Structure 1
Amino acid sequence: MQQLPDMNLLPSLDALLRAGSVAGAAAEMRISPSAMSRTLGRLRRVVGDELLVPSGRGLVLTPRARELRPRAEAALASALAALRPPTELELTTLQREFTIRSNDGVAVIFGSVLTERVMREAPRVRLRMLPEGDENPADLRDLVDLDVGQMGELPHDIRTEPLGEYGYVAVARADGPYADERLTPERFAALPHITVTRRGRVRSVVDERLAELGLTRDVLATAPTYTAACFFALRSDALALVPRQFALEAARAMPLAVLDIPLDLPANPFVQAWHVRVDADPAHRWLRGALAEIVTELGGAERPGARPHRKRTPRPAHDSAI
């Protein structure tokens, strides 16, 4: 590999070529004329040209120096821009595409509001939503900009921010036989259920809590998404178990009743995750901040904290069955 020249010479080269004199360049660089004269000698050796030569009582640029002058100025400006902190983000002119991975619950509850906000604040930004599946956390290194949902253990180069917690409710068709009921554990267990699971799991913490009460339930069907579960409920007299905020959103668009589950179920934490490569990127920080604000504004949950932290082992595949 060819050895790089001393890049500290670049500001002096730019000053000399613009000033056309040692004294003028020295004054601009705030050094003595003798120090600038020595720097000119070093530049002549590096460039292989005299750069400035005597002409009467002054100096004149050589043809090579005239050729170098705009290039030196541009190179210095580029170097300074690369070493300065990023400029303030201009959302109205920001042109960026963000790939976000989540389940359909997150997409429906928060993705729709995020899309609205992007259109309003950053009209040139584009969102690409990917479905959650059997993904690899390493996708965040080059394929996915933001992962939102429940996470297990993650690689050391992935950062996370807690967004909040959510609980589950049951939805039933609004004109169904028990849409106006206040469910008891016994009644809840006696009704057919629709659960959401990508892997066909039927048993979950719901069955554990019912077992503690000496009860069992009948899972009529499993659905791959919360949206599908709601449509199943519209065509049956079954309860679909979905996140509370998702249920409220779905009930605005579908004739669904939202019923409390009469069991002490644990809350489900969810986070947003990203790779360290975009940790300090102003545009990505805006995206993360916007999503966090949306979660808070919609009352998605109390945010347990916003300090990014690290996890050290790969995330296990998870399922959303309940």
Structure 2
Amino acid sequence: MQLDLNLLAALDALLEEGSVAGAAARLHVTAPAMSRSLGRIRRTTGDQILVRTGRTMTPTPYAIAVREQVHALLHQVQGVLAPSRDLDLATLERTFTLRWHDSLVALSGPALLAAVRGQAPGVRLRFVAESSIDTPELRRGEVDLEANANRPNAPDIRAENVGETRLVIVVRQGHPLARVRTVTAQRYADAEHVTVSRRGNLSNALDDALAQLGLTRRVVATVPTEAAALEFARGSDLVISAPEATTRSAVADLGPVLLPLPIELPSAPVYLSWHQRYDTDHAHAWLRGLARTALSVAP
């Protein structure tokens, strides 16, 4: 039997996406074409691979058993067939899509763009906003690099910790907390707070830490970006708590004060993530190196 590598790629996409439509979108083919590929895979393996259960498709026991092996095989094939020629940055023309946390775009985006333009003037960067829900664009190849505090769990997503930063309190000039000698946990909890959450969460790890001390803070609002939170804090007695590195430049521009957080919490990590299909892509590896440097932030 002659091996069709296209079927291996189709099988990998079907097992990852769990649907014909999702696999078709990932591989940029039509749904009917992916349905035909699924039919060929079923005939070749003698297994249904995906079976319909209500409105969703469920992988068969065989499909679950071979999923990791299919991942590994496809990755090996991609490595063998990847171009080995040297990368010519001077003539490279390509557009990369980056989905970064908005504060990381403000902190590190300008440095990354300057480095890219200095080495490869034909390369363009598309920074897109984070979604309020988990989306599959990274797996589908529609996003090249993600950068945020979340480490992905999917086996086909690479993630590298490129830095970390501690949380601090941000208040306006003249805020009552800025006038006291020491910001205690009680004083911090007694203030009114604005949280930052792209999903609209009104509580986070800070509230868990306060609860262990028998304290509860009053969160009056949540906003999706740190830039918006800083605007709330600048003209009121509201308190925000955010990573120091990502708020440093905005604080210098807007005038608020940074104060130490009176609660022991681990530093916030910064992860750079990409799909494993780009492991051997020379241009992507070059961009990852520049992004890694730009995102390296001091605690």
What TM-score, normalized to structure 1? 0.62
Preserved contact between residue 137 and residue 154 of structure 1 (Cα < 8 Å): no
Pair member with larger Rg:
1
Who is 2:266 aligned against?
Answer: 266
Inter-CA distance 174–289: structure 2 relative to 1 (3 Å threshold) = same
The correspondence for 1:103, drawn from 95, 101, 104, is 101
Displacement of 1:180: 4.7
Who is 1:146 aligned against?
Answer: 145
Preserved contact between residue 100 and residue 147 of structure 2 (Cα < 8 Å): yes
Residue identity matched to 1:103: H
Displacement of 1:230: 0.5
Preserved contact between residue 166 and residue 243 of structure 1 (Cα < 8 Å): yes
The correspondence for 1:124, drawn from 122, 125, 146, is 122
Question: Secondary structure of the equivalent of 1:179?
Answer: helix
Who is 2:165 aligned against?
Answer: 166
The alignment's C-alpha RMSD in Å is 2.2
Inter-CA distance 84–224: structure 2 relative to 1 (3 Å threshold) = closer
Preserved contact between residue 140 and residue 147 of structure 1 (Cα < 8 Å): no
Task: Tell me the distance in 1 between the aligned counterparts of 2:168 and 2:82.
Answer: 51
Preserved contact between residue 140 and residue 146 of structure 1 (Cα < 8 Å): no
Preserved contact between residue 157 and residue 274 of structure 2 (Cα < 8 Å): yes
Inter-CA distance 194–281: structure 2 relative to 1 (3 Å threshold) = same
Residue identity matched to 1:207: D
Alignment of 1:278-293 (within 5 A): 278-293=278-293
Task: Tell me the distance in 2 between the aligned counterparts of 1:295 and 1:269.
Answer: 11
Displacement of 1:146: 0.9
Task: Tell me the distance in 2 between the aligned counterparts of 1:233 and 1:167.
Answer: 19
Task: Tell me the distance in 2 between the aligned counterparts of 1:240 and 1:232.
Answer: 9
Who is 2:196 aligned against?
Answer: 196
Who is 1:157 aligned against?
Answer: 156
The correspondence for 2:84, drawn from 79, 83, 86, is 86
Preserved contact between residue 170 and residue 242 of structure 1 (Cα < 8 Å): yes
- Deviation string 1:222-276 (CA, Å, 9 cap, x unpaired) is 1111110001101211111111101212112211111111100122323212122
Task: Tell me the distance in 2 between the aligned counterparts of 1:211 and 1:158.
Answer: 35
Who is 1:28 aligned against?
Answer: none
Who is 2:211 aligned against?
Answer: 211
Task: Tell me the distance in 1 between the aligned counterparts of 2:137 and 2:102.
Answer: 21
Equivalenced residue count is 218
Displacement of 1:152: 4.6
- Deviation string 1:3-48 (CA, Å, 9 cap, x unpaired) is xxxxxxxxxxxxxxxxxxxxxxxxxxxxxxxxxxxxxxxxxxxxxx
**94-103 or 200-209, larger mean C-alpha shift:** 200-209
- Structure 1 residue ranges without an equivalent (≥5): 1-81, 302-322
Alignment of 1:304-319 (within 5 A): none
Task: Tell me the distance in 1 between the aligned counterparts of 2:281 and 2:152.
Answer: 24
Question: Secondary structure of the equivalent of 1:219?
Answer: strand
Preserved contact between residue 97 and residue 144 of structure 2 (Cα < 8 Å): yes
Residue identity matched to 2:167: Y
Inter-CA distance 190–122: structure 2 relative to 1 (3 Å threshold) = same
Inter-CA distance 149–83: structure 2 relative to 1 (3 Å threshold) = closer
Alignment of 1:221-300 (within 5 A): 221-296=221-296, 298-299=297-298
Preserved contact between residue 105 and residue 243 of structure 1 (Cα < 8 Å): no
Preserved contact between residue 196 and residue 225 of structure 1 (Cα < 8 Å): yes
Task: Tell me the distance in 1 between the aligned counterparts of 2:178 and 2:121.
Answer: 42
Displacement of 1:218: 1.1
Inter-CA distance 83–107: structure 2 relative to 1 (3 Å threshold) = closer
Who is 1:176 aligned against?
Answer: 175
Task: Tell me the distance in 2 between the aligned counterparts of 1:160 and 1:84.
Answer: 21
Task: Tell me the distance in 2 between the aligned counterparts of 1:201 and 1:270.
Answer: 20
Displacement of 1:84: 9.0
Task: Tell me the distance in 2 between the aligned counterparts of 1:84 and 1:160.
Answer: 21
Preserved contact between residue 103 and residue 247 of structure 2 (Cα < 8 Å): no
Task: Tell me the distance in 1 between the aligned counterparts of 2:117 and 2:153.
Answer: 32
